[in-house]
Amino acid sequence: MPLRDGRLSHDIDPSDRAPQDACGVFGVWVPADQASRAEVSKLTYYGLYALQHRGQESAGIAVSDGSRIVVFKDMGLVAQVFDESVLNTLRGHIAVGHCRYSTTGSPTWENAQPTFRSTDAGGLALVHNGNLINTLELAAKLEPGVLTATTDTEVLTALLAHQTEGGPMAAAREILPATRGAYSLVFMDEDTLYAARDPEGVRPLVLGELEAGGWVVASETAGLDIVGARFVREIEPGEMVAIDGEGVRSERFAEPRPKGCLFEYVYLARPDTTIAGRSVQATRVEVGRRLAREHPVEADMVIPTPESGTPAAIGYAEASGIPYGQGLVKNSYVGRTFIQPSQTIRQLGIRLKLNPLREAIEGKRLVVVDDSIVRGNTQRAIVGMLRDAGAAEVHVRISSPPVSWPCFYGIDFATRAELIAGNLSVEGIRDSIGADSLGFISLDELISASHIAKDNLCRACFDGIYPIPVEQDASGKHLLEVGR
């Protein structure tokens, strides 16, 4: 997909961008006397690398050496923003890091994270995964001209920095109960690392312990694994922790009302991540098995849409007895290129990213498994491409229910008008994408595969039931930019 810098994104179809999560967050604290050995900036770099799938627009790291906080951030992927020379300048024993996809505020340098504020006691650096739904209400508590960026994260940072008596934990104790929406926060002053999660626990946040001493907080357990941290537990909904030389201290700032995001299991989280004690990979394979039982079909081969459909395709093949195979090859290297596609290449569209294995699919009845359908353009192109390559039949199976409603809690879905399932029946979608048959897993079966109680999950994008009420005039990506 052409970006403003003339590069291409990883999106298979530029008019059918996959759902984007808000961000990945990471934080690390080590004893000050281990700072030179631990190299917290490099631990944070690798942690963000493991969380890159959660945000690809910008990346940043803030480090404290006990006396001052230094922040470095820029637009681009983690590996584009940081190199050895930059990381070597970020020295200290506490760090927070962030990789961003914008859900509030434009994708600009000013809106990149960590956000930083000077306080009467020193400094405050903060990173945030999620999306607030009362941003305008919170911003109204600030003096005019205070905000230097146009994100909900900037508003929250300014509020926490303004309340300095008692330190960041006391400020958070006052501010967070009035903050509505999804927020998994990691922040720090010169001496202490803090983490907090909204009362609904919409976005994940986990705590790990380093073998050599020290603590790590990350969006996913995959961020702990890459730095060799042992998973300790999840940060609970409505919980805030502080980590310093005295260890880990915890308190509740709100009663928990668990509503973890069900779409984390479908698409957002890495398959090697664990959520609520359940492997995401195992969940997705089980979803595929249930999908095969709900929507059987006579076919010769099950193939995934790489790579998001792979676990469910494995499960579908296992349960159906239909052989699993590779029918589409994804080009992993086309994602970021300096070459602007010509009109001729643009007309080829999807073949920049996917190409069929003709000898594997010619004359075959295929089951194509993918994780979700947003606008339908990608599936339409894939079905057409497989038919052109000689497939006898193309049956599409989707490992989530129809996505019919937008998300206001940190996933940048299309509006309801743009969502194909918001406007068409399943049969209408099948006809639109040109498949011989189409089946979505039911919501009940998806929930059952997650092993989490229905009442403890946010399912709003599937059933339109929003656990945190949203006022439509208080939502929108650019609400802080109107009139600027």
- DSSP, residue by residue, 255-270: -----EETHIIIIIS-
- Report the alpha-carbon distance of residue 111 to residue 113 in Å, rounded: 6
23 is catalytic: yes
Do residues 157 and 117 make contact, with C-beta atoms less than 8 angstroms apart? yes
Q: Using DSSP, how many helices (H) and how many strands (E) does the chain show?
A: 17, 23
Phi and psi at residue 245, to the nearest 5°: -65, -15
Residues contacting 84, CB < 8 A, separation 6+: none
Q: CA torsion sign, 385 to 389 to 393 to 396?
A: negative
Do residues 216 and 229 make contact, with C-beta atoms less than 8 angstroms apart? yes
- Report the alpha-carbon distance of residue 23 to residue 82 in Å, rounded: 17
* Rg (the chain; Cα; Å): 23
Q: Where are the beta strands (DSSP E) in 305-446?
A: 328-330, 354-356, 365-370, 393-398, 437-440
In angstroms, the Cα distances linking 174 to 120, 140, 167, 179, 449 are 17, 16, 11, 10, 38
Nearest CA to 461 out of 371, 374, 370 is that of: 374
Label residue 365 exposed, middle or buried (CB < 10 Å: 0-12, 13-18, 19+): middle
Do residues 458 and 199 make contact, with C-beta atoms less than 8 angstroms apart? no
Nearest CA to 291 out of 463, 430, 449 is that of: 449
**Catalytically annotated residues:** 23
